[in-house]
């Protein structure tokens, strides 16, 4: 197959970028979009040019590393599919694929198609867990969970944290991501004790990161490679409202967002008498 | 040099208790004064970092990915074993221990395996409490399935995404500690050397993958949870970034590397379709519970599968192994697939594939049940191959999947470098020559949550840790080593890309040190690897600079290490004149074509010491003793 790739090239966070056109003559319909970029990169290196930087790891659609816009759609046109599993047979002979990084202020561009998604980690760090120390758990079967609840929790827990929801949203909202984690944990009995405070903390962090508000457009769920349902946002809103009413006295602090990549403070060792 | 495995005294069921009582404790007030580096954030590294943070140690955790949640543990599909006996089908700690030792073809250390089986039950409890959405019965109890190589149902699972859910549990526990300030996380940071000062591991040298900055980090102890080395084969089911660099650089600093030739070929992967292929996709082994494996009886039968009548099909696993059938362990299933393909009975365009057929199960259980059990796997298969497995049998072929070998560790998971601990797939300890399905997640979490947090305390409590000066010769030497190898790679500017070398290296290792091996082939592979390695250092083209994101440079450093490891794998395979588990030497097989062990001469762990580039490594043997499970020929007939 013949295709034309138009790829966003940007050498660093502070540089301006531009779309560069690369004609491709020998695209095998069975290769994935990422394998197509591999082939392009091999050619670029052989010609003495710099290869396109893009994030990828497992290439089975589960690690959440990969993702960029293809012709304005997050992860391209195919439903429930990340770019690593999107094969070229889904594009027509001669078509033009415009590839751009996720565009959202909380996801600064690092290079070419690679962005910084640490904002997601900070949202989890703010409260996206059940506080249970290692060793203090009761027997697994001591907490019965109905199949229906367990299945619903699993549906929400399937999120891979790729960021497509943010990229697809006109407001760059992270409501689907945040709502998915909150739904996963708060509908399970194990997660119930921290339900209110978790909602307050995660929503506050989401706002502190600069993600936009949700206006129920639904682009996020349409773009989501794991088909996370819009209802997780309803759960988030309800938990947040409920939490705001019940936890009025709690002080909610947020983590200050940062974008630098310096190595930070190093470990010091305190000599102690052994 | 002799190896002290430090296996505690006492009967096997008391060893871990005895060890825990005898391990020295660190006073709670002193814990915050001890710093620990954890490299890797998967099930092993992530769970260790979180747990050590909870205990109050000052922890730094490093991963090369953009977030700890992306570690390759996330891709594990099938499940995690635990000896809960919830299904009342006769399981017990001893049975899980027995199955694992036998499944490993009697090349694992009994005491470690027993501890693993004991801890397995705690792991499930911990993960449930964290909110891992394991599959449930309607009544609310946890459900189980059976998994390759086991006759009891002891595997817990979360759809086909068990690894993802367990990793998210560990990741969330880790993020909680990061928020609490007890763990500092360094994403997009790759370990490039180990700092060994006065004979002990005291830190690491890293490269920041965004800025290119090379830095040193010091600590009282270092833990590696950096996974396996399956990517030495280029095409594997591992994530593209999975690499051996952290372990290999530690090996070059004195840590012995054990059983490098013990690699696992997974029987159920999607066959290769073209030269551009960058990785192989695994289909969970759980598919073998309901799928039947067959090939045509006649060589070269090119009819579509639905036109081949039952009488012309050979369900070769059911025929050869009537009691285990399609559920034989991975090494047996893989080798049999290779054999039928070698006979010319393979299916698909390349002839390198066998059918995995769900027709009978769909007729018996209905499409809905099959969809519930394997829906996401069927979708994935269809996305990649453009074939509908509900209608046409899947085509599968073996691919490299897991590596049982790794850095040698004692019972406390400490390597031969004091202060360097190695956990999860990165160590060699629990799976012998073949790993059973659903045991990797178990081992990663066992080491990380429940073993290393105790054993490291003993090391910290019994040693003194003088401050390491940045200016000390050991530190300066390691840092300049990292700088010079980066500079070297960038300066060659030859004609070939890193990937083209890696692909060629992988083909050599797959052809000669893959599913079956011969002395002749291995000797020739060693020569070929050396020659190609020389070419690599003369002709590789790494574009760009070392001062910003440079994915080619990252790959080049990892491939350079794979070259050295590949040679060691072949040396080890050549030295082990027997067949066991995943290591199948054609010269050593039973008349029926099964692996023939030689317990007399090879019942040991082969731990190799590094002696400089191009030099024959040192072999140190740890003899294995079997007091509880008597070595027998594995039979799955």
pLDDT (tens digit, 9 = 90+) per residue, B383-399?
Answer: 889 999 999 999 999 99
Tell me the sheet residues that pair with A21: A6
Sheet holding B406-407, edge to edge: B406-407, B257-258, B604-609, B618-623
Looking at every residue in chain B, the average pLDDT score rounds to: 95
In a mutational test of the B interface, the residue from A62, A187, A202 whose CB has the highest number of chain B CBs within 10 Å is A62
- Two structure tokens written together for B343: 């006979």
pLDDT (tens digit, 9 = 90+) per residue, A7-24?
Answer: 999 999 999 999 999 999
Tell me whether residue B281 is in a domain.
yes
Query: Domain check: are B391 and B279 in the same one?
Result: yes
Helices (H), B151-296: 162-180, 245-252, 287-290
pLDDT of the residue at A263: 55
Kindly indicate the confidence band of residue A140, based on its pLDDT and cuts at 50, 70 and 90: very high
Question: Looking at the predicted structure, is the pLDDT value of residue A249 above 90?
Answer: no
pLDDT (tens digit, 9 = 90+) per residue, B556-598?
Answer: 999 999 999 999 999 999 999 999 999 999 999 999 888 999 9
Cβ contacts of B612 within 8 Å, gap of 6 or more: none
Interface membership of B630 toward A (CB under 8 Å) = no
Of B54, B159, B464, the CB nearest to A154: B159
Residues within 8 A of B (CB atoms), A 12-51 only:
12, 28, 30-32, 34-36, 38-39, 42, 45-46, 48-51
pLDDT of the residue at B154: 96
User: What integer is the mean pLDDT of B173-184?
Assistant: 97
Residues within 8 A of A (CB atoms), B 418-457 only:
449-450, 453
Interface contact flag, B69 A121, Cβ < 8 Å = yes
Interface contact flag, A263 B142, Cβ < 8 Å = no
> Which residue range is the domain that position B327 belongs to?
267-400
Kindly indicate the confidence band of residue A265, based on its pLDDT and cuts at 50, 70 and 90: very low
Tell me the sheet residues that pair with B221: B36
User: What integer is the mean pLDDT of A177-193?
Assistant: 97
The CATH number of the domain where B304 resides is what? Answer: 3.90.700.10
Query: Domain check: are B479 and B368 in the same one?
Result: no
Cα–Cα distance measured from residue A43 to residue A37, given in angstroms and rounded to the nearest whole number = 10
Interface contact flag, A271 B176, Cβ < 8 Å = no
Question: Looking at the predicted structure, is the pLDDT value of residue A264 above 60?
Answer: no
Interface membership of B223 toward A (CB under 8 Å) = no
* Domains identified in chain B, total number: 2
Question: Looking at the predicted structure, is the pLDDT value of residue B186 above 90?
Answer: yes
pLDDT of the residue at B374: 87
Tell me whether residue B526 is in a domain.
yes
Query: Domain check: are B392 and B486 in the same one?
Result: no
Locus of tokens 């399935």: B145
pLDDT of the residue at A270: 52
Of B124, B276, B549, the CB nearest to A28: B276
Instruction: Look at chain B and count its residues.
Output: 637
pLDDT of the residue at B376: 80
In a mutational test of the B interface, the residue from A49, A58, A127, A191 whose CB has the highest number of chain B CBs within 10 Å is A58
pLDDT (tens digit, 9 = 90+) per residue, A14-56?
Answer: 999 999 999 999 899 999 999 999 999 999 999 999 999 999 9
Tell me whether residue B271 is in a domain.
yes
Kindly indicate the confidence band of residue B463, based on its pLDDT and cuts at 50, 70 and 90: very high
What does the DSSP 8-state code read for residue B188?
T
Residues within 8 A of A (CB atoms), B 545-564 only:
548-549, 551-552
Kindly indicate the confidence band of residue B182, based on its pLDDT and cuts at 50, 70 and 90: very high
Q: How far is B263 from chain A (nearest CA, A)?
A: 19
Tell me whether residue B374 is in a domain.
yes
Question: Looking at the predicted structure, is the pLDDT value of residue B634 above 80?
Answer: no
Three-state SS letters, B431-450? CCCCCCCCCHHHHHHHHHHH
Phi first, then psi, for residue B446 (nearest 5°) are -60, -50
Cα–Cα distance measured from residue B18 to residue B87, given in angstroms and rounded to the nearest whole number = 30
Interface membership of B350 toward A (CB under 8 Å) = no
- Lowest mean pLDDT across A157-161, A269-273, B38-42, B592-596: A269-273
Does residue B529 contact residue B566 with C-beta atoms inside 8 Å?
yes
Residues within 8 A of A (CB atoms), B 490-549 only:
495, 497, 499-500, 541, 543-544, 548-549
Which ranges in chain A are annotated with CATH 1.10.1060.10? 117-130+144-246
Query: Domain check: are B381 and B491 in the same one?
Result: no
Interface contact flag, B66 A268, Cβ < 8 Å = no
Question: Looking at the predicted structure, is the pLDDT value of residue B113 above 70?
Answer: yes
Of A32, A161, A271, the CB nearest to B69: A161
Between the alpha carbon of residue B268 and those of residues B105, B147, B224, B381, the distances in Å are: 21, 13, 29, 11
User: What integer is the mean pLDDT of B394-405?
Assistant: 96
What does the DSSP 8-state code read for residue A120?
H
pLDDT of the residue at B320: 94
Question: Looking at the predicted structure, is the pLDDT value of residue A269 above 80?
Answer: no
User: What integer is the mean pLDDT of A151-174?
Assistant: 98
Tell me whether residue B58 is in a domain.
no
Residue A19 parent element (H or E): strand A18-24
Provide the CB-side half-sphere exposure for B25 (13 A, CA): 7
pLDDT (tens digit, 9 = 90+) per residue, B36-69?
Answer: 999 999 999 999 999 999 999 999 999 999 999 9
Residues of B with catalytic annotation? 330
The CATH number of the domain where B562 resides is what? Answer: 1.20.58.100
On whether the A117-130+144-246 domain is CATH 1.10.1060.10, my answer is yes
User: What integer is the mean pLDDT of B109-116?
Assistant: 98
Residue ending a domain, among B400, B420, B442, is: B400
Cα–Cα distance measured from residue B193 to residue B201, given in angstroms and rounded to the nearest whole number = 11
pLDDT (tens digit, 9 = 90+) per residue, A75-119?
Answer: 999 999 999 999 999 999 999 999 999 999 999 999 999 999 999
Interface contact flag, A35 B240, Cβ < 8 Å = no
pLDDT (tens digit, 9 = 90+) per residue, B493-518?
Answer: 999 999 999 999 999 999 999 999 99
ipTM for this model: 0.96
CA dihedral for A49, A54, A59, A60, sign (positive or negative)? negative
pLDDT of the residue at A273: 39
Question: Looking at the predicted structure, is the pLDDT value of residue A266 above 70?
Answer: no
User: What integer is the mean pLDDT of A169-180?
Assistant: 98
Tell me whether residue B484 is in a domain.
yes
- Lowest mean pLDDT across A147-151, A260-264, B309-313: A260-264
pLDDT (tens digit, 9 = 90+) per residue, B467-494?
Answer: 999 999 999 999 999 999 999 999 999 9
Question: Looking at the predicted structure, is the pLDDT value of residue B120 above 50?
Answer: yes
On whether the A3-37+48-111 domain is CATH 3.10.20.30, my answer is yes
Between the alpha carbon of residue B280 and those of residues A59, A135, B141, B338, B429, the distances in Å are: 9, 37, 35, 16, 26
Output the pTM of the full model.
0.96
- Of B410, B416, B427, B403, nearest in space to B48 by CA: B427
Interface contact flag, A266 B215, Cβ < 8 Å = yes
């Amino acid at each position: 197959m013949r295709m034309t790739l138009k790829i966003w090239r940007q050498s660093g966070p502070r540089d301006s970028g531009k779309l560069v056109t690369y004609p491709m003559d020998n695209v095998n319909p069975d290769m994935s979009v990422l394998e197509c970029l591999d082939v392009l990169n091999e050619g670029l290196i052989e010609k003495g040019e710099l290869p396109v930087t893009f994030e990828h790891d497992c290439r089975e659609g589960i690690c959440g590393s990969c993702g960029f816009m293809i012709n304005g759609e997050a992860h391209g046109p195919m439903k429930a599919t990340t770019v690593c599993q999107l094969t070229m047979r889904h594009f027509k002979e001669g078509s033009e694929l415009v590839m751009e990084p996720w565009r959202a202020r909380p996801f600064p561009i690092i290079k070419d198609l690679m962005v910084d998604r640490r904002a997601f980690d900070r949202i989890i760090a703010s409260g996206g867990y059940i506080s249970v120390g290692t060793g203090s758990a009761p027997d697994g079967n001591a907490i019965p969970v109905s199949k229906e609840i367990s299945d619903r929790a699993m549906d929400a827990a399937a999120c891979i944290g790729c960021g497509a929801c943010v990229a697809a949203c006109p407001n760059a909202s992270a409501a689907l991501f945040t709502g998915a984690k909150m739904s996963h944990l708060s509908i399970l009995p194990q997660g119930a004790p921290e339900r209110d405070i978790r909602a307050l903390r995660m929503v506050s962090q989401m706002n502190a990161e600069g993600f936009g508000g949700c206006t129920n457009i639904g682009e996020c769920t349409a773009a989501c490679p794991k088909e996370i349902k819009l209802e997780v946002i309803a759960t988030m809103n309800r938990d947040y409202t409920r939490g705001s009413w019940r936890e009025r006295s709690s002080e909610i602090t947020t983590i200050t967002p940062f974008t630098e990549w310096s190595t930070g403070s190093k470990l010091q060792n305190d000599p102690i008498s052994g | 040099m002799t190896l002290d495995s430090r296996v505690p005294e006492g009967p096997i069921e008391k060893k871990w208790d005895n060890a825990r009582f005898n391990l020295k404790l660190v006073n709670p007030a002193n814990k915050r004064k001890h710093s620990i580096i954890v490299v890797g954030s998967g099930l092993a590294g992530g769970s260790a970092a979180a747990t050590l943070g909870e205990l109050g140690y000052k922890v730094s955790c490093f991963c090369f990915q953009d977030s700890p949640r992306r570690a390759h543990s996330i891709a594990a599909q099938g499940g995690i074993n635990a000896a809960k006996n919830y299904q009342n089908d006769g399981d017990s700690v001893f049975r899980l221990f027995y199955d694992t030792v036998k499944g490993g073809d009697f090349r694992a250390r009994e005491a470690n395996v027993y501890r693993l089986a004991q801890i397995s039950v705690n792991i499930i409890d911990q993960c449930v409490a964290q909110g891992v959405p394991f599959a449930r019965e309607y009544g609310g109890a946890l459900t189980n399935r059976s998994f390759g190589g086991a006759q009891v149902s002891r595997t817990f699972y979360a759809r086909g995404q068990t690894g993802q859910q367990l990793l998210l549990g560990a990741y969330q526990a880790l993020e909680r500690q990061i928020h609490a300030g007890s763990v500092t996380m360094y994403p997009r940071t790759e370990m490039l050397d180990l700092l060994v000062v006065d004979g002990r591991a005291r830190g690491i040298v890293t490269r920041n993958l965004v800025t290119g900055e090379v830095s040193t980090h010091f600590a009282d102890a270092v833990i590696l949870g950096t996974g396996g080395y399956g990517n030495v084969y280029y095409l594997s089911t591992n994530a593209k970034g999975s690499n051996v660099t952290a372990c290999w650089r530690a090996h070059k600093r004195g840590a012995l590397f054990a059983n490098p030739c013990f690699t696992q070929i997974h029987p159920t992967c999607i066959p290769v379709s073209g030269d551009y292929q960058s990785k192989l996709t695994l289909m969970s082994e759980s598919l073998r519970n309901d799928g039947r494996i067959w090939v045509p009886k006649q060589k070269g039968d090119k009819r579509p599968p639905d036109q081949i009548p039952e009488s012309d099909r050979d369900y070769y696993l059911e025929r050869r192994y009537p009691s285990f059938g399609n559920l034989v362990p991975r090494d047996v299933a893989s080798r049999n697939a290779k054999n039928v393909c070698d006979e010319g009975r393979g299916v698909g365009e390349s002839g390198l594939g066998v059918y995995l057929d769900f027709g009978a199960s769909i007729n018996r259980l209905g499409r809905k049940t099959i969809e519930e059990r394997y829906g996401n796997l069927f979708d994935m298969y269809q996305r990649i191959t453009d074939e509908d497995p509900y209608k046409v049998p899947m085509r599968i072929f073996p691919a490299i999947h897991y590596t049982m070998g790794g850095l040698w560790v004692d019972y406390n998971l400490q390597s031969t470098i004091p202060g360097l601990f190695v956990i999860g797939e990165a160590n060699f300890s629990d799976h012998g020559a073949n790993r059973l399905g659903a045991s990797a997640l178990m081992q990663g979490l066992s080491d990380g949550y429940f073993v290393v947090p105790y054993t490291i305390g003993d090391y910290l409590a019994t040693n003194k840790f003088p401050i390491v000066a940045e200016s000390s010769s050991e530190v300066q030497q390691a840092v300049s080593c990292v700088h010079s190898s980066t500079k070297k790679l960038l300066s060659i500017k030859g004609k070939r890309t890193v990937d083209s070398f890696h692909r060629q290296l992988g083909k050599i290792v797959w052809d000669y040190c893959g599913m079956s091996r011969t002395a002749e082939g291995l000797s020739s592979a060693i020569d070929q690897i050396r020659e190609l390695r020389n070419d690599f250092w003369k002709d590789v083209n790494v574009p760009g600079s070392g001062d910003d994101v440079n994915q080619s440079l990252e790959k080049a450093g990892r491939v350079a290490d794979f070259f050295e490891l590949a040679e060691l794998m072949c040396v080890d395979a050549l030295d082990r004149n027997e067949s066991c588990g995943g290591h199948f030497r054609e010269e050593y097989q039973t008349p029926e074509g099964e692996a023939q062990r030689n317990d007399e001469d090879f019942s040991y762990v082969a731990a190799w010491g590094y002696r400089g580039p191009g030099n024959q490594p040192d072999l140190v043997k740890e003899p294995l003793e079997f007091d509880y499970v008597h070595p027998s020929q594995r039979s799955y007939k």
